Structure 1
Amino acid sequence: MLHSRIPFTGWSNERVLPMPTLKTDRIVLVLDTDPPAHRNKVEEVVKMMEIELGSGWILRQLCKVYLFISHHRIIGCLVAEPIKEAFRVVSSFFAGQSDIGKKRGTKSTTLQFGNIVFQREVKKRAVSASNSEVMELGGAVFCEDKAVAGVCGIRAIWVTPSNRRKQIAVHMLDAVRKSFCAGSALERTQLAFSQPTSAGKA
């Protein structure tokens, strides 16, 4: 049986990102051009992630991997990649549908990260929206048909079950914003996300 926390003794040449909000913990960046020992550790973490998120899609060439280290263990991982385009989530659609949950007896919740809004309906039902695209995985996310220029795509975010709801994913996202593009920090609205799981939305 795999343990949900992966031991990490550290590397002599690890790439630690400056995060003033972290006191004893740290975030380490790993690139696909790094030494084999670094990449092997990433693959070990990805195997753990695949248990919950599915296999064969999380990691690929040119990805940047952010490892959250606490007490000599890896307890979080974020995989980001350079992208050229993304699709905006249709927030105006949610605004116009705010009373649907009440009228139909369903309970709706929303999660907002910058200008990106996700909505989750507890009771699943077919929903249609003009000029939008629907993807189902524990709820629906509506996107515009027209692509916009993108810079950073978040392929996957994972935190060990015992360490969730502790702002670890937020710290990793902040690290991505500050380090993904050399010389400039990205805005939260410039991050594009893959389809989240229900745990990711929560």
Structure 2
Amino acid sequence: YWQVGEVVKMMESELGSGWIMHKLCKVYLFILSQRIVGCLVAEPIKEAHKVLSCAVNGSSDGTTTNEPKLTTLQFGDIRFQREVMRKAPSVPEALNENLNGAIFCEEEAVPAVCGIRAIWVTQANRRKHIATQLLDALRKSFCMGFVLEHSQLAFSQPTSAGKALA
């Protein structure tokens, strides 16, 4: 149990202190070479609010408009018209742009079973699917007798990396 407390302290140094764990939480640890390299803290919930899609340049579907912008240059009697086309950002750029900033949720709550309070992986072990494996373990064991669907999970105030994972 003391190791869980130490891991939560480490998580709080990166994610903020005082909110990660309470007595109803379940804690999942990922151990690699006898070291804790990942931790997931979850709690039972009854409902959650869906996150609204982020917009890029005012578009709700995440794409930019390809409407040409005309610019006229005039040299004496000669006029040049230049079309400027804005290219839609590639997927990683769109993700980064959408993931930095405020989170907007729908007003109406939907049923949910499990709230992910925090999920954390040591910096040296990120991008190795450890967080995904923690989530899979949670889905299989959080409720005795059945596997939770992804739609039954809810994330609380994720970082940009957490949003990408969610």
How does the TM-score come out when normalised to structure 2? 0.74
Residues 111 and 152 of structure 2 are in contact (CA less than 8 Å); yes or no, is this contact kept in structure 1?
A: no
Considering only CA atoms, is the larger Rg found in Structure 1 or Structure 2?
2
Query: Alignment identity in percent?
Result: 63
Q: Match for residue 45 of structure 1?
A: 7
**Take 1:169 and 1:56, find their aligned partners in 2: how far apart are those partners?**
22
**Take 1:183 and 1:198, find their aligned partners in 2: how far apart are those partners?**
33
Residues 108 and 121 of structure 1 are in contact (CA less than 8 Å); yes or no, is this contact kept in structure 2?
A: no
CA RMSD of aligned residues (A): 2.9
Greater shift after overlay, 100-109 or 161-170? Answer: 100-109
- Matching of residue 81 in structure 1 with residue 57 in structure 2: no
Q: Match for residue 61 of structure 2?
A: 97
Q: Alpha-carbon deviations, 1:65-120, whole Å to 9, x = none?
A: 0000011100000000001110112349788332248788895857xxxxxxxx54
Task: Point out 4+ residue stretches in structure 1 off by more than 3 angstroms.
Answer: 91-97, 100-110
Q: Alpha-carbon deviations, 1:32-89, whole Å to 9, x = none?
A: xxxxxx2x21110001111110100001111000000011100000000001110112
Helix, strand or coil: the match of 1:165? coil
Q: Match for residue 123 of structure 2?
A: 161
Unpaired segments of 5 or more residues in structure 2? 68-85
Q: Match for residue 110 of structure 2?
A: 148
- Structure with more relative contact order (C-alpha pairs < 8 Å, separation 6 or more): 2
**Take 1:172 and 1:152, find their aligned partners in 2: how far apart are those partners?**
14
Paired residues, number = 143
Residues 53 and 61 of structure 2 are in contact (CA less than 8 Å); yes or no, is this contact kept in structure 1?
A: no
Unpaired segments of 5 or more residues in structure 1? 1-37, 111-118, 123-136
Residues 87 and 143 of structure 1 are in contact (CA less than 8 Å); yes or no, is this contact kept in structure 2?
A: yes
Helix, strand or coil: the match of 1:121? helix
**Take 2:89 and 2:143, find their aligned partners in 1: how far apart are those partners?**
39
How does the TM-score come out when normalised to structure 1? 0.62
